[in-house]
Amino acid sequence: MPTSHLEITGVKQKQAWQDKVLPPVELVRPGLLSIPVIFPDNPMRYTLCYALFDNQDCVIVDPGFDSNEGQQQIAQALHNINIDISEISGIIATHFHHDHLGMAARLARASGAWIALGEDERRYISDFEDVHAEVLKDQARMKVWGVPHERRAEAAMSVDGLMLMKNLADPDLRLADGQQLETAGSQLRISASPGHTPGHICLWDDDHELVLAGDHVLPRISPNVSLEIRGDTDPLRKNIASLKRIAENNHYEVAPAHEYRFRGIADRADALLQHIQSRSDEVLDILAQGAPSVHEVARRLSWSRGWDSLGKLQFRLALSETAAHVQYLVTSGIHEGVPGLPHA
């Protein structure tokens, strides 16, 4: 996907990304610190956590994956601007994923901070009573999707994965689309951006022409959009609408939750929309050739590192992303679906 038209503003971050090291803590503008927080055992390597601060308050956006090392990274960065972790007043997560909201519970315990999420962000994957029953249910779904018997356990959520989601903090506050939030010296405009998750939000800082974009738009990779249990029934359609919507203010600096900062959000959203369209065409071609299941469509799709290299989580994401595409074609009236889809 072309990224050359983007102006990279996180120059040190991009260099660090290429060098496969952790980028530095950076003052993005007065009152806004970017803090890389380790995301262990994941190719993303880190989450870019942000600290908004003034003389009175410190609000953390996307505290990242829950780990001792990550907590240390945040504590050290705050310490350098004379803020103690116990002084954090609020925590906002752009979405309900463990590499964003994970450390919120720990930071809230240490500080008494409030935790905020988008108003449409609900527990979906983690909305279960019995974790073992949930694993079996998910494996049954993988069977319907045509996943061969020997790979069903790999494709389905694991007990550990589900518990990681289950243990995420519940919010004290909900942020609504269009809401203005004045906090820690910043005026933030909330915009709903469903797609990557049902209740993902972006935070626009109009005074400083900057947007905290979470995982909605990243400079290099295409954020995952998956059909998930109890999630949106048509997440790809919502994502397309959200990408069209975010294309305002192309000159704003984008502060994403992974990779590096850049300018050119409209161009980037456009490239992502084109990528979705060509992927959709590819899925339709494969369906037209008679592929009988989500698994078979996924297997025949082109994957940058090859289908055979996709294991565990990547395998699951490939399947649920393919399912989101099939669902989109069905709800567009273009295809009648495969077993398990349309999904209601």
Nearer to Zn ion by Cβ, of 134 and 215: the residue is: 215
Output the six-digit token pair for 24.
């530095």
Nearest-angstrom CA–CA distance, 320 and 281: 17
Taking the C-alpha atoms of residue 88 and residue 55, their distance in angstroms, rounded to an integer, is 12
Closest alpha carbon to 217 in 235, 199, 244: 244
Q: Who contacts 131 (Cβ-Cβ below 8 Å, separation ≥6)? A: 159, 162, 163, 166
Select 62 or 296, whichever has its Cβ closest to Zn ion: 62
Q: How far is the CB of 224 from Zn ion (least distance, A)?
A: 9
Provide, rounded to whole angstroms, the least separation between the CB of residue 107 and Zn ion: 17
The number of residues in the chain equals 344
Q: How far is the CB of 322 from Zn ion (least distance, A)?
A: 20
Based on CB atoms, which residue is closest to Zn ion, 100 or 237?
100
* Alpha-carbon dihedral angle through residues 106, 111, 116, 264, given to the nearest 10 degrees: -90
Minimum CB–partner distance for residue 257 and Zn ion (Å): 5
**Closest listed residue to residue 341, CA positions, set 323, 315, 322, 317:** 323
Provide DSSP, 270-323: HHHHHHHHHHHHHHHHHHHTT--SHHHHHHHS--TT-GGG--HHHHHHHHHHHH
- Which CA distances in Å does 29 have to 41, 71, 249, 322, 338? 31, 23, 18, 40, 50
Shortest distance (Å) from residue 268 CB to Zn ion: 16
Q: How far apart are CA 35 and CA 204, in angstroms?
A: 19
Least spacing, CB of residue 315 vs Zn ion, in Å: 18
3-state SS, residue 215: coil
Kindly state the smallest distance separating residue 97's Cβ from Zn ion, in Å. 5
C-beta closer to Zn ion: residue 62 or 253: 62
Report the C-alpha gap between 176 and 28 in whole angstroms: 26
CB of 297 to Zn ion, least distance (A): 25
| Shortest Å distance, C-beta 118 to Zn ion | 15
How do 253-256 and 210-214 pair as beta strands?
A: parallel
Assigned token pair, 196: 């990557």
258 vs 279 by CB, closer to Zn ion: 258
Nearest to Zn ion of 215, 232 (CB atom): 215
State the residues that interact with Zn ion by CB under 5 A: 99, 215
- Which is nearer to Zn ion, 215 or 253 (by Cβ)? 215
